[in-house]
Amino acid sequence: MQEKNPGYVKSERHGHLMFIEFYHPQSNSLPHSLLTDLASHIHGAGLDEEVRVIVLRSAGDRAFCAGASFEELSQIKTSREGEDFFNGFAHVINSMRKCPKFIIARIQGKCVGGGVGIAAAADYAIALSGAEIKLSELEIGIGPFVVGPAVERKLGMSAFSQLAIDAASWRTADWAKSRGLYSEVHGNLQELDESIQRLVNRLSHSSPVAISEIKKILWQGTTHWDQLLAERAKISGQLVITEMAQRAISLFNKA
Protein backbone atom coordinates (compact mmCIF):
# COMPACT_ATOMS: atom_id res chain seq x y z
CA MET A 1 0.00 0.00 0.00
CA GLN A 2 1.82 3.08 -1.23
CA GLU A 3 0.87 6.74 -1.26
CA LYS A 4 2.07 9.26 -3.82
CA ASN A 5 3.34 11.69 -1.19
CA PRO A 6 4.18 9.80 2.01
CA GLY A 7 5.57 12.80 3.89
CA TYR A 8 8.54 12.38 6.22
CA VAL A 9 9.90 11.83 9.70
CA LYS A 10 13.16 13.55 10.61
CA SER A 11 15.34 14.00 13.70
CA GLU A 12 17.68 16.83 14.62
CA ARG A 13 19.82 16.92 17.76
CA HIS A 14 20.97 20.09 19.53
CA GLY A 15 23.16 19.23 22.48
CA HIS A 16 21.09 17.07 24.83
CA LEU A 17 17.86 17.88 23.00
CA MET A 18 16.40 15.84 20.13
CA PHE A 19 13.67 17.21 17.88
CA ILE A 20 11.61 14.56 16.08
CA GLU A 21 9.26 15.97 13.45
CA PHE A 22 6.71 14.25 11.23
CA TYR A 23 4.74 15.55 8.30
CA HIS A 24 2.09 14.37 5.89
CA PRO A 25 0.22 16.56 3.38
CA GLN A 26 -3.15 15.19 4.55
CA SER A 27 -3.33 17.00 7.90
CA ASN A 28 -0.33 15.09 9.24
CA SER A 29 -2.18 11.79 9.00
CA LEU A 30 -0.02 8.69 9.36
CA PRO A 31 0.36 5.90 6.79
CA HIS A 32 2.15 2.75 7.85
CA SER A 33 5.51 3.87 6.48
CA LEU A 34 5.51 7.01 8.62
CA LEU A 35 4.40 5.07 11.70
CA THR A 36 7.34 2.71 11.20
CA ASP A 37 9.75 5.61 10.75
CA LEU A 38 8.37 7.47 13.76
CA ALA A 39 8.78 4.45 16.05
CA SER A 40 12.32 3.96 14.72
CA HIS A 41 13.32 7.59 15.33
CA ILE A 42 11.96 7.52 18.89
CA HIS A 43 13.76 4.25 19.58
CA GLY A 44 17.00 5.67 18.18
CA ALA A 45 16.75 8.82 20.29
CA GLY A 46 16.22 6.64 23.34
CA LEU A 47 19.49 4.82 22.64
CA ASP A 48 21.49 8.04 22.12
CA GLU A 49 23.42 8.64 25.34
CA GLU A 50 23.75 12.36 24.57
CA VAL A 51 19.98 12.88 24.44
CA ARG A 52 18.10 13.71 27.66
CA VAL A 53 14.83 15.09 26.32
CA ILE A 54 12.86 14.69 23.08
CA VAL A 55 10.49 17.23 21.55
CA LEU A 56 7.95 15.47 19.34
CA ARG A 57 6.27 17.79 16.87
CA SER A 58 4.54 17.87 13.51
CA ALA A 59 5.05 20.34 10.69
CA GLY A 60 2.65 23.12 9.77
CA ASP A 61 0.34 25.25 11.86
CA ARG A 62 -2.98 23.42 11.54
CA ALA A 63 -3.45 19.78 12.61
CA PHE A 64 -1.00 18.10 14.97
CA CYS A 65 -2.11 14.70 13.70
CA ALA A 66 -5.26 13.51 11.92
CA GLY A 67 -4.62 9.91 12.92
CA ALA A 68 -4.61 7.02 10.48
CA SER A 69 -4.27 7.64 6.75
CA PHE A 70 -7.74 7.15 5.28
CA GLU A 71 -6.23 6.65 1.84
CA GLU A 72 -4.29 3.70 3.17
CA LEU A 73 -7.20 2.36 5.24
CA SER A 74 -9.32 2.23 2.09
CA GLN A 75 -6.75 -0.06 0.45
CA ILE A 76 -6.75 -2.70 3.18
CA LYS A 77 -8.26 -5.93 1.88
CA THR A 78 -7.50 -8.54 4.56
CA SER A 79 -7.61 -8.61 8.34
CA ARG A 80 -3.87 -9.37 8.37
CA GLU A 81 -3.16 -6.21 6.38
CA GLY A 82 -5.37 -4.29 8.79
CA GLU A 83 -3.62 -5.79 11.80
CA ASP A 84 -0.22 -4.86 10.35
CA PHE A 85 -1.38 -1.29 9.78
CA PHE A 86 -2.71 -0.76 13.30
CA ASN A 87 0.36 -2.40 14.77
CA GLY A 88 2.14 0.68 13.42
CA PHE A 89 0.36 2.78 16.06
CA ALA A 90 1.13 0.10 18.66
CA HIS A 91 4.84 0.32 17.85
CA VAL A 92 4.84 4.13 18.13
CA ILE A 93 3.09 4.11 21.51
CA ASN A 94 5.31 1.33 22.84
CA SER A 95 8.45 3.09 21.62
CA MET A 96 7.35 6.21 23.50
CA ARG A 97 6.55 4.12 26.58
CA LYS A 98 9.93 2.37 26.61
CA CYS A 99 12.04 5.39 25.71
CA PRO A 100 14.18 6.32 28.76
CA LYS A 101 14.03 10.03 27.88
CA PHE A 102 11.23 12.48 28.59
CA ILE A 103 9.09 13.10 25.50
CA ILE A 104 7.58 16.58 25.29
CA ALA A 105 4.81 16.86 22.68
CA ARG A 106 4.28 20.17 20.87
CA ILE A 107 0.56 20.15 20.03
CA GLN A 108 0.03 23.09 17.67
CA GLY A 109 -3.28 21.89 16.18
CA LYS A 110 -6.13 19.43 16.32
CA CYS A 111 -5.65 15.78 17.27
CA VAL A 112 -7.86 13.03 15.88
CA GLY A 113 -7.85 9.31 16.64
CA GLY A 114 -4.29 8.07 16.67
CA GLY A 115 -3.12 11.64 17.11
CA VAL A 116 -4.83 11.71 20.50
CA GLY A 117 -3.06 8.47 21.34
CA ILE A 118 0.33 9.95 20.50
CA ALA A 119 -0.40 13.05 22.59
CA ALA A 120 -1.45 10.79 25.47
CA ALA A 121 1.72 8.70 25.19
CA ALA A 122 3.90 11.80 25.56
CA ASP A 123 5.24 12.46 29.05
CA TYR A 124 4.30 16.14 28.89
CA ALA A 125 2.12 17.82 26.25
CA ILE A 126 2.09 21.56 25.64
CA ALA A 127 -0.76 22.68 23.40
CA LEU A 128 -2.19 25.65 21.56
CA SER A 129 -5.64 26.84 22.61
CA GLY A 130 -7.13 25.67 19.30
CA ALA A 131 -5.82 22.10 19.68
CA GLU A 132 -9.17 20.34 19.95
CA ILE A 133 -9.39 16.56 20.16
CA LYS A 134 -11.71 13.72 19.23
CA LEU A 135 -11.59 9.94 18.93
CA SER A 136 -13.45 9.47 15.67
CA GLU A 137 -12.90 5.74 15.20
CA LEU A 138 -16.45 4.63 15.99
CA GLU A 139 -17.70 6.90 13.20
CA ILE A 140 -15.89 4.72 10.68
CA GLY A 141 -17.00 1.37 12.08
CA ILE A 142 -13.98 0.55 14.23
CA GLY A 143 -12.92 1.88 17.65
CA PRO A 144 -9.97 3.42 19.52
CA PHE A 145 -8.62 0.01 20.49
CA VAL A 146 -4.87 0.49 20.05
CA VAL A 147 -4.69 4.03 21.42
CA GLY A 148 -7.26 3.30 24.13
CA PRO A 149 -4.81 2.18 26.84
CA ALA A 150 -2.68 5.31 26.41
CA VAL A 151 -5.70 7.62 26.45
CA GLU A 152 -7.29 5.87 29.42
CA ARG A 153 -4.00 5.95 31.34
CA LYS A 154 -3.67 9.69 30.89
CA LEU A 155 -7.31 10.88 31.07
CA GLY A 156 -9.04 8.15 33.07
CA MET A 157 -11.81 5.78 32.07
CA SER A 158 -14.61 8.35 32.33
CA ALA A 159 -13.04 10.83 29.90
CA PHE A 160 -11.89 8.04 27.60
CA SER A 161 -15.41 6.60 27.44
CA GLN A 162 -16.84 10.04 26.60
CA LEU A 163 -14.39 10.41 23.71
CA ALA A 164 -14.91 6.84 22.47
CA ILE A 165 -18.72 6.91 22.58
CA ASP A 166 -19.42 10.46 21.37
CA ALA A 167 -17.00 10.03 18.49
CA ALA A 168 -18.31 12.91 16.37
CA SER A 169 -17.83 15.67 18.95
CA TRP A 170 -14.75 17.83 19.38
CA ARG A 171 -13.44 18.55 22.87
CA THR A 172 -11.62 21.82 23.50
CA ALA A 173 -8.00 22.16 24.53
CA ASP A 174 -9.18 23.38 27.93
CA TRP A 175 -11.29 20.22 28.30
CA ALA A 176 -8.22 18.14 27.42
CA LYS A 177 -6.09 20.06 29.94
CA SER A 178 -8.65 19.64 32.72
CA ARG A 179 -8.57 15.85 32.14
CA GLY A 180 -4.77 15.67 32.11
CA LEU A 181 -4.04 15.14 28.41
CA TYR A 182 -2.41 18.54 28.06
CA SER A 183 -0.08 19.84 30.74
CA GLU A 184 -0.26 23.41 29.46
CA VAL A 185 -2.41 25.37 26.98
CA HIS A 186 -1.20 28.62 25.42
CA GLY A 187 -2.94 31.31 23.39
CA ASN A 188 -0.42 31.68 20.57
CA LEU A 189 2.53 29.91 18.98
CA GLN A 190 5.12 32.24 20.45
CA GLU A 191 3.97 31.49 24.00
CA LEU A 192 3.76 27.79 23.15
CA ASP A 193 7.33 27.63 21.86
CA GLU A 194 8.71 29.80 24.64
CA SER A 195 7.22 27.46 27.23
CA ILE A 196 8.65 24.41 25.48
CA GLN A 197 12.06 26.08 25.29
CA ARG A 198 12.06 26.93 28.99
CA LEU A 199 11.13 23.38 29.95
CA VAL A 200 13.59 21.57 27.71
CA ASN A 201 16.42 23.92 28.72
CA ARG A 202 15.91 22.89 32.33
CA LEU A 203 15.52 19.21 31.50
CA SER A 204 18.64 19.17 29.33
CA HIS A 205 20.67 19.93 32.47
CA SER A 206 18.97 17.24 34.56
CA SER A 207 20.42 13.88 35.50
CA PRO A 208 19.81 11.35 32.71
CA VAL A 209 19.71 8.55 35.28
CA ALA A 210 17.07 10.40 37.31
CA ILE A 211 15.04 11.05 34.16
CA SER A 212 15.17 7.36 33.25
CA GLU A 213 14.10 6.30 36.74
CA ILE A 214 11.21 8.80 36.80
CA LYS A 215 10.13 7.57 33.39
CA LYS A 216 9.93 4.01 34.76
CA ILE A 217 7.67 5.21 37.58
CA LEU A 218 5.44 7.18 35.22
CA TRP A 219 4.85 4.09 33.10
CA GLN A 220 4.53 1.58 35.93
CA GLY A 221 2.04 -1.18 35.23
CA THR A 222 2.35 -1.08 31.43
CA THR A 223 4.91 -3.83 30.79
CA HIS A 224 2.17 -5.98 29.24
CA TRP A 225 1.42 -3.41 26.54
CA ASP A 226 3.46 -5.15 23.84
CA GLN A 227 0.95 -8.00 23.96
CA LEU A 228 -2.09 -5.85 24.78
CA LEU A 229 -1.66 -3.39 21.90
CA ALA A 230 -0.95 -6.24 19.47
CA GLU A 231 -4.25 -7.84 20.53
CA ARG A 232 -6.02 -4.52 20.06
CA ALA A 233 -4.46 -4.12 16.59
CA LYS A 234 -5.91 -7.51 15.65
CA ILE A 235 -9.42 -6.34 16.63
CA SER A 236 -9.03 -3.18 14.53
CA GLY A 237 -7.67 -5.21 11.63
CA GLN A 238 -10.76 -7.41 11.63
CA LEU A 239 -13.16 -4.48 11.83
CA VAL A 240 -11.56 -2.25 9.21
CA ILE A 241 -12.35 -4.68 6.37
CA THR A 242 -16.06 -4.93 7.22
CA GLU A 243 -18.53 -3.51 4.75
CA MET A 244 -19.67 -0.85 7.23
CA ALA A 245 -16.12 0.36 7.87
CA GLN A 246 -15.08 0.42 4.22
CA ARG A 247 -18.23 2.32 3.28
CA ALA A 248 -17.60 4.92 6.00
CA ILE A 249 -13.92 5.26 5.05
CA SER A 250 -14.92 5.77 1.42
CA LEU A 251 -17.26 8.59 2.42
CA PHE A 252 -14.55 10.24 4.52
CA ASN A 253 -12.12 10.00 1.60
CA LYS A 254 -14.62 11.79 -0.68
CA ALA A 255 -15.36 14.56 1.85
| pLDDT tens, residue by residue, 149-161 | 999 999 999 999 9
Q: Mean of the pLDDT values across residues 38-43?
A: 98
pLDDT value of residue 255: 59
Query: Comparing C-alpha atoms, which of 122, 114, 149 is closest to residue 30?
Result: 114
Pairing of strands 102-107, 53-58: parallel
What are the pLDDT digits (tens) for 184-242? 999 999 999 999 999 999 999 999 999 999 999 999 999 999 999 999 999 999 999 99
What are the pLDDT digits (tens) for 72-118? 999 999 999 999 999 999 999 999 999 999 999 999 999 999 999 99
- pTM for this one? 0.95
Among 148-152, 166-170, 231-235, 249-253, which stretch is predicted with the lowest mean pLDDT? 249-253
pLDDT value of residue 23: 98
> Which is more confidently placed, 69 or 253?
69
**CA–CA gap between residue 56 and residue 103 (Å, rounded):** 7
Sheet with strand 102-107: strands edge to edge: 8-14, 17-23, 53-58, 102-107, 124-128, 184-186
pLDDT value of residue 3: 46
pLDDT value of residue 219: 98
Domains present along the chain, CATH in parentheses: 8-206+222-254 (3.90.226.10)
